[in-house]
Structure 1
Amino acid sequence: MNNNPKISTEKAVIPLKHFETIMIYEDKTDQEIWKSFNLGDEMAFNYIYRIYVRELYRYGVQFSKDEELVKDCIQNLFIYLRRKRGELSEVVSIKAYLYKCIQSEIFKNRKTEARNRSIEENFGEHSFSVEVSPETSLIDKESALSRHELLSRSLNQLTAKQRQAILLFYEDGLSYKEISALMDFSEVKTARKLIYRALASLKELIKPTTKH
């Protein structure tokens, strides 16, 4: 018989509470979820954390390969959000807001010599490398493996900013307006042009496959 109450609690209670939280919030809008959280709803806070923590990590490691730094920044972000409940402004897209916050948090916590560089300078050649899955919306599900591999290689020939915009738009589902704010563009049309040009470049890079 297991006399450890912590183990039995983790097995019996936590999955149930998580399931219940998902059921409560999955049909609510981001504005409704954020409002509940801002009013002190602990379940709304837990929902936001569980839904976005892995995506924040995936996004954060594009700006710093120091995984512990990224994890610390995510923890600091959620500590800050919890402390500021009741004072936070309205949010239309939780994901876009959290992405912007973690991006700022990581750059703020980088070493002094890197902290003053621009985002463009901090983008390495391999930032936002793209690994295309067969299910991705960027390609037809019935595409041949060779075309899939060509697309993967072609995506990673784009600039870091183009790759970032493509991922934010197609994989994360952010709008042009949200991408513009996240990437510090002064106008929404800049994000739109960046994505259009990235797609045009992709079209040229994969053109050889259409000649057969």
Structure 2
Amino acid sequence: MKQKDNSKTTGLDLGKGDEQTIWKNFVNDNQDALSQMYEAYSQKLYNYCRQFDSDDSLIWDVIQDLFYDLIRRKKHLAIPNSVTAYLLSSVRRKIIERLEQKKKAKEQSLDPDKHAFQVQISEENELIKRELSSEQKQRLEKACNELPVKQREAILLKFYEGLSYEEIAQVMDMTKNKSARALVYRGLQSLSIKLSDMDPKKGLAVLYTISMV
């Protein structure tokens, strides 16, 4: 499978119905559906995995391993309620497992809280240009990146990927939707305190333009 470029694009913009149609075609041996699914999701999966590790070779190896697993198991795959959440959850487990193996091999301890899910506010968005000064943008980025890693991950999945709380819970391997909701709420609450002297409407509106490094 061909590797994508490492830009911040997230692939094709599919609705839920389109996702499930491609999935149905894939499990029914439609070869075009496999290409469509890879085209739609590979860069999105890369961007997500990039938050766990910066090794491009490892990341693409994990993504291709995921798709090979799907090919091997397609006759036994049910149609997920959210294809995006299913794939993000699957690749999350795979890369964490791979990094654990890497850690044991090197006998080093990883500190995911220090580097994972760093937030970068897009400078190309018109809302940011109009509403925030350069200093305010930097403050918002800094405040986001001071949040605990799980809050950063939940906020990125909510505002960047547009996932529902149910989908976030699935991706982050939580048993209850309210746990995902609580993570996002606590993150936003912390941001409102850190940015208490900043117009809250501006700060929260700009959260919708958050993108991953």
Q: Give the alignment's TM-score, normalised by structure 2.
A: 0.76
1:103 aligns with: 92
Shift of 1:139: 6.4
Deviation at 1:135, TM superposition (A): 6.0
How many residues align? The count is 184
Greater Rg, structure 1 or structure 2?
1
Q: Distance in 2 between matches of 1:190 and 1:160?
A: 15
Please say if residues 113 and 148 of structure 2, whose CA atoms lie closer than 8 Å, have aligned partners that are also in contact.
no
Does 2:74 correspond to 1:92?
Answer: no
Is the 8 Å Cα contact of residues 154 and 183 (structure 2) preserved in structure 1?
yes
Shift of the alpha carbon at 1:144? Answer: 2.6
Gaps of 5+ in 1: 1-21, 116-120
Which residue is equivalent to 1:82?
A: 71
| Matched residue, 2:145 | 156
Say if 2:170 is the partner of 1:172.
no
Cα separation, 2, equivalents of 1:63 and 1:97? 18
8 Å CA contact 1:176–1:191 kept in 2: the answer is yes
Query: How far apart are residue 86 of structure 1 and its match?
Result: 2.2
Q: CA deviation at 1:161?
A: 0.6
Letter of the structure 2 residue corresponding to residue 83 of structure 1 = R
For residue 23 of structure 2, what is the amino acid of its counterpart? W
1:44 maps to which residue? Answer: 33
Which residues in structure 2 correspond to 1:56-75 (within 5 Å)? 56-75=45-64
Residue 136 of structure 2 is aligned to residue 147 of structure 1: yes
Cα displacement (A) at 1:89: 1.3
2: CA distance, partners of 1:199 / 1:27: 27
Cα distance in structure 2, aligned partners of 1:158 and 1:111: 24
1:194 aligns with 2:183: yes
1:136, CA displacement in angstroms?
6.3
- Higher mean C-alpha deviation, range 50-59 or range 167-176: 50-59
Give the CA deviation at 1:109.
2.4
Q: 1:137: how far off?
A: 11
Deviation of 1:84 after TM superposition, in Å, equals 2.1
CA 1:30–1:210: 2 relative to 1, 3 Å: closer
Matching residue's letter, 1:63: F
Change (3 A) 1:176 1:149: same
Sort the Cα spacing of 1:41 and 1:123 in 2 relative to 1 into closer, same or farther, 3 A.
Answer: same
Q: Secondary structure at the match of 2:138?
A: helix
Of 96, 120, 139, which aligns to 1:131? Answer: 120
Match of 2:173 in 1: 184
> Is the Cα contact below 8 Å between 1:77 and 1:102 reproduced in 2?
yes
Alignment check: 8 A CA contact 2:42 2:63 kept = yes
Give TM-score scaled by structure 1 length. 0.76
Root mean square deviation, CA, Å: 2.9
1:25-47: CA deviations, max 9, x gaps?
A: 77943222211111111222111
Residues 77-123 of structure 1: per-residue CA shift (max 9 Å, x gap)? 111112222221111222111111111111222354747xxxxx762
Percent of residue pairs identical:
34
* TM-superposed deviation, 1:52: 1.1
Q: Distance in 1 between matches of 2:168 and 2:152?
A: 12
Q: Take 2:193 and 2:129, find their aligned partners in 1: how far apart are those partners?
A: 17
Relative contact order: is structure 1 or structure 2 higher (C-alpha 8 Å, sep ≥ 6)? 2
